[in-house]
């Protein structure tokens, strides 16, 4: 995700944020997340997201689901997930990480937040219950 934004802090100086990347550390697996375009500018209106998050695999080992959290998102709802996708399920009020191809969608609405980059094998082989943390990596430069 490429973000360029100016912020004011530290003695009133203007700083430029660029090269922003988001990582998910779940268990001992660390993966970069590719967020959907405009997630912060237009789609995500509010959230109660706190770290660490507790995730638990469903009985089919196809999804990791988080404990309950609230998000307000203005976007088109989907009814199918793709492998590696990260979704918010408003009916259940939780995040879901898709670990395998979905055979049945069960008509449960969800919002696509992004996708895990790279190989999912490490995440797929983790324990049934795992803690997860989100990490931001970015460049911060003072404006002249």
Q: What is the 3-state secondary structure (H, E, C) of 91-111?
A: CCCEEEEECCCCCCCCCCCEE
Answer whether 0.85 is exceeded by the pTM. Answer: no
Q: Domain ranges for the chain, please list them.
A: 28-131
Q: What does DSSP say about strands 5-9 and 111-116: parallel, antiparallel, or unpaired?
A: unpaired
Dump pLDDT digits (tens) for 69-81.
998 888 888 888 8
Positive or negative torsion for Cα 126, 122, 25, 116: negative
What pLDDT does residue 4 have?
54
State the DSSP code for 62.
S
Pick the CATH number of 28-131 from 3.40.50.150, 2.40.100.20, 3.40.980.10, 1.10.10.10: 2.40.100.20
Which segments of 48-106 are extended strands (E)?
Answer: 53-57, 63-66, 71-73, 85-89, 94-98
């Amino acid at each position: 995700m490429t973000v360029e934004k100016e912020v004011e802090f530290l003695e009133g100086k203007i700083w430029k944020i660029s090269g922003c990347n988001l990582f998910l550390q779940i268990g001992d697996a660390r993966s970069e997340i590719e967020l959907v375009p405009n997630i912060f500018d237009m789609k995500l209106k509010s959230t109660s997201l706190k770290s660490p998050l507790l995730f638990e695999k469903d009985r089919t080992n196809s999804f990791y689901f988080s404990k309950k959290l609230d998000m307000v998102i203005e976007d088109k709802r989907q009814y199918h997930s793709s492998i590696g996708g990260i979704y918010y399920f408003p009916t259940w009020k939780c995040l879901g990480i898709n670990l395998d191809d979905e055979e049945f969608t069960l008509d449960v609405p969800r919002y696509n937040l992004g996708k895990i980059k790279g190989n999912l094998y490490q995440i797929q082989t983790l324990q049934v219950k795992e803690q997860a943390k989100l990490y931001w990596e970015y460049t911060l430069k003072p404006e002249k």
